[in-house]
Amino acid sequence: MANDNSDILALLGDLLRATDRQTEANTKAIDELRQEMRQATVEMRQANAEMRQEFTAVFDRFATAVADGFIRVEGKIDGVRQEVSDLRQDVQRIDQRLERVEKALPGYEDIVRRLIILENIVLPKAS
């Protein structure tokens, strides 16, 4: 029976050594994976930071372009407002002149009628 126990003990010893070797191999593999994951995490964070910087730069350029566009449009709107204001003043002046001409129109008709009569008198005598 002693033989049987020693064989079993030898098998158990072999099993323990194999388990220890496998545990060491697994621990080493896990440590390597952890290191790779740490490295991948660092790389991902760097890539994320770079992408964030690129996005921020693109967004800043876009925001600046939009703001510049609004400023240009506001300038154009101000120019159009000034032109409209000038045109209103011109229209008011024209309306005032028209009113004066319309008020003076009966007098002009009388002057034109008198000139025609005078012409009819003077032209026959001059010829």
* Domain regions of the chain by residue span: 1-125
Structure tokens at 24: 């060491």
**Would you give per-residue pLDDT tens digits along the chain (127 residues)?**
456 788 888 889 999 999 999 999 999 999 999 999 999 999 999 999 999 999 999 999 999 999 999 999 999 999 999 999 999 999 999 989 988 888 877 777 888 888 888 888 887 777 6
**Given this model, what pLDDT does residue 1 score?**
47
pLDDT value, residue 92: 94
- What pLDDT was estimated at residue 124? 79
C-alpha 103/C-alpha 116 separation (Å) is 22
pLDDT of amino acid 3? 61
pTM over 0.75: no
The predicted pLDDT at position 7 comes to 86
